């Protein structure tokens, strides 16, 4: 059982554009990763040929991530706003398919924002109905969708894996899966093991992030527990290192991510260390799971 292991492009650079694409792809490949996760907020302006050239040159695959804003919130009680969110997701699916990405992940069910109130029944219903139609289109295109579970300061609808699982089961499509993120789980779940259990059989995509968004193993996330749980579940989906440093993401992205500190100076060293860390955790957890089963 082997998990594809990837890295978020913003570990290396703030933007995915121009010649920077090729440099980021080369650095990710040199660190030992098999694919890049690239965030796309405006699919209409995304350079598909330039992206494919950079990835092909480095021998990497791609996963796309995205999020909606309050004015395009899929989970809005206002049907017109929800419809704009659905249109965004449909465009993102077409982009992911064109890029030959197997996954479209992130805040695929609502806005990436600090909400002023709890979700409404009407808004939740709008999101579930729209996700059913979106998942049907994803199936036609051969793209899977990950619903990233976020902390309460970044979304109001899906803060636990159990909440994500409930929506996935309502929609009832194998193309819609739960996306677990250890950073967010550290804030919202009782434990990393509970987070995995909350996904049930619907876990599709895993973000590995430290409690302070920096180097793995230097914060307070219980990675041994996390990897033990995913190994026991025989999870074979993508695992992605996601981390942010203020000096890398730059002045434009830092306020959005609430990243105010320089977590590292050398992105290449941090990325390579993360790749080794993830591989070691997987080996240890799988060995323990195999021993328990024998």
* Sequence-separated contacts (24+) of 166-174 with Cβ below 8 Å: 167/109, 167/127, 167/128, 167/131, 168/202, 169/202, 170/128, 171/128, 171/131, 171/132, 171/135, 172/132, 173/132, 173/135, 173/136, 173/138, 173/139, 174/139
Which of the following is catalytic: 37, 86, 148, 188?
148
Q: Provide the token pair at 27.
A: 């650095």
φ, ψ dihedrals at 290, nearest 5°: -65, -40
Is 234:1 a contact under the CB 8 Å cutoff? Answer: yes
Catalytic hit among 86, 154, 188, 242: 242
Residue 242 bears catalytic tag: yes
Residue 2 CB-density burial (10 A; 0-12 exposed, 13-18 middle, 19+ buried):
exposed
Active site residue 210: no
Cβ atoms of 283 and 228 closer than 8 Å: no
Which residues carry out catalysis? 148, 242
């Amino acid at each position: 059982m082997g998990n594809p292991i990837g890295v978020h492009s913003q570990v290396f650079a703030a933007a995915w554009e121009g010649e920077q694409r090729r440099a980021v792809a080369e650095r990710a490949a040199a660190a030992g990763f098999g694919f890049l996760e690239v965030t796309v907020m405006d699919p209409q302006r995304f350079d598909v040929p330039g992206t494919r050239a950079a990835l092909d040159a480095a021998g990497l695959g791609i996963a796309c991530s995205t999020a909606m804003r309050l004015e395009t919130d899929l989970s809005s009680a206002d049907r017109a706003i929800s419809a704009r969110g659905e249109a965004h997701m449909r465009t993102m699916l077409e982009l992911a398919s064109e890029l030959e990405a197997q996954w479209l992940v992130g805040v695929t069910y609502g806005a990436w924002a600090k909400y002023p109130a709890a979700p409404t029944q009407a808004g939740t219903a709008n999101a579930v109905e729209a996700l059913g139609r979106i998942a049907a289109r994803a199936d036609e295109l051969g793209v899977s969708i990950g619903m990233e579970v976020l902390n309460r300061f970044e979304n109001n609808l899906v803060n636990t894996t159990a909440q994500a699982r409930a929506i996935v089961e309502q929609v009832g499509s194998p193309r819609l899966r739960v996306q677990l993120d250890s950073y967010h789980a550290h804030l919202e779940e009782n434990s990393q093991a509970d987070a995995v259990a909350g996904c049930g059989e619907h876990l599709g995509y895993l973000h590995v992030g430290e409690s302070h968004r920096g180097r793995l193993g230097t914060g307070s996330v219980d990675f041994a527990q996390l990897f033990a749980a995913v190994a026991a579940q025989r999870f074979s989906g993508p695992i992605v290192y996601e981390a942010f440093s203020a000096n890398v993401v730059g002045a434009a992205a830092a306020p959005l991510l609430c990243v105010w500190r320089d977590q590292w100076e050398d992105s290449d060293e941090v990325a390579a260390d993360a790749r080794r860390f993830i591989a070691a955790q997987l080996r240890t957890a799988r060995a323990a799971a195999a021993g328990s089963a024998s």
